[in-house]
Amino acid sequence: MKKRLLGTTGLWVSELCLGTMTFGGKGYWEAIGKLTQGEASDLVARAIDGGINFIDTADIYSFGESETLLGAAIAGKRDHLVLATKVRGRMSPDANDVGLSRAHIMSSIDGSLRRLGTDHIDLYQIHGWDPLTPLEETLRALDDVVRAGKVRYVAASNLAAWQLMKAQGLAERHGWSRFQSVQAYYTLAGRDLEREVVPLLRDQRMGLLVWSPLAGGLLSGKYTFDGNATTTTEAGARRANFDFPPVDKGRAHRVVEAMRPIAAAHEASVAAVALAWLLHQDAVTSVIIGAKTTAQLADNLKAPELVLTADELAALDQVSALAPEYPGWMIDRQSTDRLKPS
């Protein structure tokens, strides 16, 4: 499996990253997956054997259980992995056990280290925006955990372009650790990221880690579509009990139908085509794959080998293209006389 540079860190990470949201399945997370220690350890071992050196989790996944299961699964293998986790989510009913305050970050990093059985996190990501905590407080606390040796690099997830740029500006002004990557939703069924965030990532030399690359399973090819409703015969399908992320079902249907002949031509699954399209996008650093079974993992691991032709990429781009929006269409229009010599 190919490796790609993560932002400006100098770290090489596999172009597929193993996501661990399916580990544990406590409470709210049961609809996504409830893998036991044995199943989680087997998935991790198979992912590593398949060339993956990058694993992502979060303290909020099953309220710490995912980190605990992952920590046991990587025991003895930690030194060869790039390990990422996240902070922000509510971990208990306590009023202060949530958010991006200094207090929550300092207690959360120690909890994650303990559960993961490691002395450092390679990539520590804020899991979203905290509307109550000043960004300066969050960034200073993140820089402090880096200086303490508990974290190597920091990153963000689910932030708007202006929030990311504000964070990078503050980090540069104060000499704090800057965000090296963004973890974000990006699929053929939802390319909104291309409007503002992707141009920012290119400008700031930041990596892009893609979550839910199959749009919560809708791009797996296992669903049938009827208007804005979907059905599947697959037992335990995620969308049946957890209809997330929000997707235009009609758009997803058109995308799936466009992928079917491409999948057949390559003797691959529709899911592999969806993943391969992402790996053809120059802004993407790594695509996070989550699996409930070793069969799903094995199919996902085939995606990096699938090389789409120029015509196939054009067909997929056309069926999934974003509608023009201002100011994007005006910027494109006014750029034409600068990009071509007179």
Active site residues per annotation: 61
Q: Enter the tokens of residue 23.
A: 């580990």
| Residues 219, 271 contacting (CB under 8 angstroms) | yes
217 exposure class (CB count in 10 Å sphere: 0-12, 13-18, 19+): buried
Q: Enter the tokens of residue 168.
A: 């990078």
User: From residue 193, how far is each of 21, 131, 229, 273, 339 by CA, in Å?
Assistant: 22, 21, 24, 20, 24
Residue 337: count of CB within 10 angstroms of its CB:
9
Per DSSP, what are the bridge partners of residue 151? 121
How many Å from the N-terminal Cα to the C-terminal Cα in the chain? 45
